[in-house]
Chain A
Amino acid sequence: MLELKNVSFEVTDVNGEKKKILDDINLRFDEDKFVVITGPNGSGKSTLARILMGIETPTSGKIYLDGEDITGKTITERAKLGISFALQQPVRFKGIKVRDLIEIAAGRKMETNEACEYLSRVGLCARDYIDREVNASLSGGELKRIEIASILARGTKIALFDEPEAGIDLWSFQSLIKVFEGMREDLKSSIIIISHQERILNIADEIILIKGGKVHKRGQKKDMILDILGATLEGGVCGKYMEGSDETC
């Protein structure tokens, strides 16, 4: 179980003024739940995910994993404790192959068939990709899937995904959503996804709506729909909640 208690995060802007990105967040993520965090742009969702992974340090408050205070733990320590994180913009590496990344994620060498299994699960024709470099020759959609495959290979108790729909085309998204639907059906860990996409919201056990750095509401989609639409209108009308849209404005 992952828990945030009174977590705030402040930054100082160019004028020297302090700005609160997260304001006294209290959240608990129970085991084996599929939770989607949504909200308007700039509401603090990605910051929240980065704080959970240890990429950012909260200005105040505490984070607990299974009762242990992990607030001061590094990214590496949290990874070893069982948290995985898929970045919004997957990283490219010259010279590091897809196989290498899967093996680093799994923390061990593996046979080709086993490594390919993870790629197949995210809809990639494994043998075409396993020896390719994770570099600019891969499309945004391919990189996203490889990123997810690396999370699957880790097999940790908590998996965080920061806007998996960001930066990919509509067709890639359509097949990506199937991967998440498959993960939902075969849930073996807590999955926390930052997303705007209705089809991802549809399969959530629980939705958390963040607005202005605060938890505005949490619950099931049927109880949240008006709040989500309201947040959409406040943030300016765009297609990001429309089914199948790849818009991430």
Chain B
Amino acid sequence: MLNKDQLELLNEIAGITCNPGGAINIRANGQLAERNVTENINIRTKEDKPGIDIIVKAGTKGETVYIPVVIDESGMTDVVYNDFFIGEDADVTIVAGCGIHNCGEHDSQHDGIHRFFLEKNAHIRYVENHYGSGDGNGKRILNPVTEVYQEEGSSCEMEMVQIKGVDSTVRTTKDKNKKDAKLVVRERLMTHGSQIAESNYVTVLEGENSSADVVSRSVARDRSYQKYVSRIVGNAACYGHTECDAILMDSARVLAVPELDAACIDASLVHEAAIGKIAGDQLIKLMTLGLTPEEAEEKIIEGFLG
């Protein structure tokens, strides 16, 4: 049974307050709290290290797998290895994410190492929401590592969201695309206080007509620091695009490092980066519609982070 804090975290990161049915694996304070499997989606505990294998049968369509992690024990360090095996032509949604509630004096940390193996023409939508709460002095730390291996014609859409409460995060994401495989990443990030967030993406497009579109939109407030490194390697006739778009506020700092490495004459790689404060005209426009400066600022940020 999850306690009240854990249920609140669950709602924040996965939008559920109870077992929604279908395939689900809830991990609380490093232990299995709840698990369901379905005819098409099996979840097995790893025997050699902490974590699970999620096996989606070929041809599975329209199912959702929930694998949220919640931590409310101060001083807890949880490392978990999750592997996803997505069968041919399967099309599923995976809702992951981690919520940490830390009211104590010690740091709480979760490092989720996720590997995805997408078979031919498989498609996944992966939603990862990171959230922290609690008023203790202990930090809330999340260091996710995500690796994606995409076979021919597969596609992977990733939504990475971290809006509140995570003191320190280093996100590492690696992806390899074979022929016609497609990766789409949408990262949304807001840091405040003295938080630190670092995102490192490495995408290797090694198959003909493979593509990647890696876009980060972020807001850095107070004294927080963000670093966004996105490297796309084009080893074939492919298309890669990476973009960092950041709103800078207060005394925050944002470093964007796009890296394009084209090793094929037909590789087409593009990067864009824009960092700046909220435009004065944007505030004025919303104020002429009746919003206060503070309401206008919030509305702009809310829209920007979608």
A residues with a Cβ closer than 8 A to B are 53, 55, 74-76, 79-80, 84-85, 87, 89-91, 93-97, 100-101, 104-105, 107, 150, 154
Taking a contact as CB atoms under 8 Å apart, the answer to whether B300 and A93 are in contact is: yes
With A79-B288, A87-B285, A96-B300 given, name 20 new contacts (CB 8 A). A55-B284, A75-B284, A76-B287, A79-B287, A80-B290, A85-B288, A87-B281, A87-B284, A87-B288, A90-B285, A91-B285, A93-B300, A93-B304, A96-B299, A96-B303, A96-B304, A100-B299, A104-B286, A104-B291, A150-B289
Q: B residues touching A (Cβ–Cβ < 8 Å)? A: 217, 245, 279, 281-282, 284-293, 299-300, 302-306
Q: List 21 A-B contacts (CB under 8 A).
A: A74-B287, A75-B284, A75-B288, A76-B293, A79-B288, A84-B288, A85-B288, A87-B281, A89-B281, A91-B279, A91-B281, A93-B282, A94-B217, A95-B302, A95-B303, A95-B305, A95-B306, A96-B299, A96-B303, A100-B303, A154-B290
Q: A94-B217, A94-B245, A104-B286 are in contact. Are A76 and B292 (CB under 8 A)?
A: yes
Residue of A nearest to B292 (CB): A76
Interfacial chain A residues near B284, Cβ < 8 Å = 55, 75, 87, 91
B residues within 8 A CB of A53? 288
Could you say which residues of chain B place their CB within 8 Å of the CB of A76? 287, 290-293
Minimal Cβ-Cβ distance residue in A for B301: A95
Q: B residues within 8 A CB of A55?
A: 284
Known: A94-B245, A95-B304, A104-B299. A79 touches B281 (CB 8 A): no
Nearest B-chain residue to A103, judged by Cβ: B289
Residue numbers in B under 8 Å from A104 (CB-CB): 286, 289-291, 299
A154 CA / B290 CA spacing, docked (Å): 9
Q: Which residue of A lies closest to B305 (CB)?
A: A95
Contact A94 B303 (CB under 8 A): yes
Q: CA–CA, A225 to B305, complex, Å? A: 51
Among residues of A, the one whose C-beta sits closest to the C-beta of B279 is A91
Residues on A with beta carbons closer than 8 Å to the beta carbon of B290: 76, 79-80, 104-105, 107, 154
Question: Cβ of A93 and Cβ of B288 under 8 Å apart?
Answer: no
Q: Which residue of B lies closest to A156 (CB)?
A: B290
- Distance (whole angstroms) from the CB of A132 to the closest CB of chain B: 13
Give chain B nearest CB distance to A110 CB in angstroms: 14
List the 9 closest A-B pairs by CB distance, nearest first.
A95-B303, A96-B303, A75-B287, A79-B290, A91-B285, A95-B304, A85-B288, A91-B281, A105-B289
Q: How far is the CB of B76 from chain A (nearest CB, A)?
A: 35
Please give me the residue from chain B that is nearest to A92 by CB atom: B282
- Chain B: which residue is nearest A100 at the CB level? B303
Residue of A nearest to B290 (CB): A79
Cα A154 to Cα B304 with chains together (Å): 23
A154: nearest chain-B partner, CB-CB: B289
Contacts of A154 in B (CB 8 A): 289-290
**Which B residues lie within 8 Å of A93 (CB)?**
282, 300, 303-304
Residue of chain B at shortest CB distance from A82:
B290
Q: Which of A53, A55, A91 has the most CB of B within 10 A?
A: A91
In the bound complex, residues from chain A placing their C-beta under 8 Å from that of B289 are: 79, 84, 101, 104-105, 150, 154
Residues of B within 8 Å of A91, CB to CB, are: 279, 281-282, 284-285
Nearest B residue to A79 via CB reads: B290
In the bound complex, how far is the Cα of B174 from the Cα of A55, in angstroms? 48
Residues of A within 8 A of B291 (CB): 76, 104
Q: Report the separation of the CA atoms of residues A107 and B288 in the bound assembly, to the nearest whole angstrom.
A: 12
Closest CB in chain B relative to A70 CB, distance in Å: 14
CA distance A150 to B305 in the complex (A): 23
Docked pose: A91 CA to B281 CA in angstroms: 7
In whole angstroms, how far apart are the Cα atoms of A105 and B282 in the complex?
14
Q: Which residue of B lies closest to A150 (CB)?
A: B289
Residues of A contacting B286 in the complex (Cβ-Cβ under 8 angstroms): 104
Instruction: Identify the interface centre among A74, A85, A93, A154: most chain B CB within 10 Å of its CB.
Output: A93
